[in-house]
Amino acid sequence: MPSLRLAPAAPAPNLPVIDLEAGESKTVGRGRQADVVVDDPGLSRLHARLSIDDTGQLAIDDLGSTNGIFVNGTEQLSAYLVPGDTVRFGRVEYVVSFADAPGVSDAPVVSQTILRRVSMSQAPKVDRLALEALLATSREMMAFQDLPALLDRVLDRLATIVKPDRAAILLVDSETGAMIPRAVRPAGAYSSVSEFASSTVVREALNARDTFIVHDIRMDPRLQQAASVMLAGVRSVICVPLLGRSGPIGALYADKLGVEQFAPELAEYASAFAGHAAAALETAQLYDDRERHFRATLEAFAKAIDARDRYTAGHSERVTAYSMLLARHSGQYADAFETIRRAAMLHDIGKVGVPDRVLLKEGSLDPHERALMQAHVTIGHGMLEPLPFLGASLPAVRGHHERWDGMGYPDRLAGVDIHPHARLMSVADSYDAMTSGRPYRGALPAKEAARRLRIDRGKQFDPEMVDLFDALEQEFAALYQEPDAAAMRAELLRSVG
């Protein structure tokens, strides 16, 4: 049975350290009759009694003191204490710990006491600032636009109150069950759960579905063995599970390095905050999943359209790969890869509205038929317009048949009035049209297609886009001809959103 110690929270040479063995009882006070004399005017002569029963349970009782006893910031007449608790007599604050730490070997006791549960049912004590942060967060969550931005916001709000050195939101991957850090403060502080000081705490918080606070990590031998703890100098940890309707969906994690510890009421605040955050996160995740499924459906639809026209089978996918090649190489579209990818994948989706007799006609089109065929860009735009997650992709869907000289369709835009994604996709689309067979001609060799693109530089195509293509001509030619280009194609086609 480990003995317990109450040591001054701040270094104070004139304050005694109080050690207690099982079965022992000591009075604390300012007067000489007390077993432990604490020479501070805030204490009564006989202020409190500390006692450990035979099971190792430490209790404190107020002996009628003037200024009372505060356990973890709350005034108590009597209370049970566990390591990590703080006790204030008058102005003097003590912290409870194991007397013989760190050589503690009594693991069961450690696991029950160091990872002290803060019950969710305890009314959270949040001050005005904390409450304002909480309300602001809930308003933001109602109006959230995207999950990563929302998660960053949650951490920033938490940081204003809890003031951790490091914090993260971990989300459970619904497929693998792995914990993935989705937002981290400071940014880049860690990229995997294994880098966290206490994945033990995260696991225990999730299993117990309750908040855990480790006041002083030095008291827990299991955590001391983690190399990351020693390297990072972690002192104190709060971990709150984020509970969705069907179970834990993630965790809110915060730690302090160096000498500072989290005050107990901060764990309660974090709990209140997390309950709020979890509901919003679950909604956001559902929204995310729904969007992903919906997008996959649209892409399957686009492929079905390609398949309907035997001459353009695989066209959408090839245009996507070529567009991504251009976008990656230009260096100007780093923020728009996913937008361009979606636009390229869906650029001809409006062909669903073009009659088969026109779409599949083997001869040349008459003016009426040509108008029906050209309508695929406005039909596609109209189909995708109601979908908020495709909004940024619409200009390229609508504009991929515009021409630099203003002779294209549907809006006869010219030059830089044409959206840059549409100008880029126009090169990719035309290159694939030329290098694929058509009813009225065979496939052109890659070199001939490249030559024709250059001839139309500044006429059909944006000169800058043709220059970009020039630098990539070999890659374009290789992408669907070299047998070992499959990995490169897969990489270009992979969704990032």
Candidate ranges 41-49, 239-247, 347-355, 367-375; the one touching Fe ion (CB under 5 A): 347-355
Candidate ranges 154-162, 249-257, 341-349, 414-422; the one touching Fe ion (CB under 5 A): 341-349
Supply the minimum distance, in Å, between the C-beta of residue 449 and Fe ion.
17
Burial class for 407, CB neighbours closer than 10 Å (0-12, 13-18, 19+): exposed
Which residue do the tokens 């990032």 mark? 496
Q: Which lies closer to Fe ion via its Cβ, residue 157 or residue 376? A: 376
Candidate ranges 181-189, 297-305, 342-350, 441-449; the one touching Fe ion (CB under 5 A): 342-350
User: β-strand 25-29 against 36-37: which pairing, if any?
Assistant: parallel
Supply the minimum distance, in Å, between the C-beta of residue 209 and Fe ion.
53
d(CA 73, CA 265): 8
* Whether the Cβ atoms of residue 300 and residue 473 lie closer than 8 Å to each other: no
For Fe ion, the binding residues in 149-188 under the rule CB under 5 A are none
Q: Which lies closer to Fe ion via its Cβ, residue 183 or residue 359? A: 359
* Whether the Cβ atoms of residue 3 and residue 98 lie closer than 8 Å to each other: yes
Q: Which lies closer to Fe ion via its Cβ, residue 52 or residue 377? A: 377
Supply the minimum distance, in Å, between the C-beta of residue 348 and Fe ion.
5
Supply the minimum distance, in Å, between the C-beta of residue 236 and Fe ion.
60
**Which of these, 487, 309, 298, lies nearest to 385 by C-alpha position?**
298
Residue at 455: amino acid letter: I
The residue within the footprint of Fe ion, chosen from 216, 306, 317, 348 (CB under 5 A), is 348
Q: Which two tokens stand for residue 255?
A: 């730690």
Supply the minimum distance, in Å, between the C-beta of residue 351 and Fe ion.
7
Radius of gyration of the chain (CA): 33
Residue at 256: amino acid letter: K
d(CA 99, CA 6): 8
Q: Which lies closer to Fe ion via its Cβ, residue 97 or residue 430? A: 430
Encoded one letter per residue, x for contact with Fe ion by CB under 5 A and - for no contact, window 290-329 reads ----------------------------------------
Supply the minimum distance, in Å, between the C-beta of residue 427 and Fe ion.
13
Q: 120-153: string of b/e by CB count within 10 Å (b at 16+)?
A: beeebebeeebeebbeebeebbeebeebeebbbb
Q: Which 3 state secondary structure label does DSSP give 164?
A: coil
Q: Which lies closer to Fe ion via its Cβ, residue 317 or residue 348? A: 348
Candidate ranges 189-197, 260-268, 296-304, 344-352; the one touching Fe ion (CB under 5 A): 344-352
Burial class for 393, CB neighbours closer than 10 Å (0-12, 13-18, 19+): buried
Supply the minimum distance, in Å, between the C-beta of residue 436 and Fe ion.
13
Candidate ranges 19-27, 343-351, 409-417, 468-476; the one touching Fe ion (CB under 5 A): 343-351
Number of residues that bind Fe ion (CB under 5 A): 1
Q: Which lies closer to Fe ion via its Cβ, residue 348 or residue 462? A: 348
Q: Which lies closer to Fe ion via its Cβ, residue 268 or residue 306? A: 306
What is the phi/psi pair of residue 85, to 5°? -70, 150
Q: Which lies closer to Fe ion via its Cβ, residue 219 or residue 345? A: 345
Q: Which lies closer to Fe ion via its Cβ, residue 84 or residue 408? A: 408
Supply the minimum distance, in Å, between the C-beta of residue 432 and Fe ion.
10
Positive/negative CA dihedral, 251, 257, 263, 266: negative
Rounded to 10°, the helix 264-308/337-346 angle is: 30
Question: Using CB atoms, what's the residue nearest to Fe ion?
Answer: 348
Supply the minimum distance, in Å, between the C-beta of residue 376 and Fe ion.
6
d(CA 394, CA 255): 44
By the criterion CB under 5 A, which residues form the site for Fe ion? 348
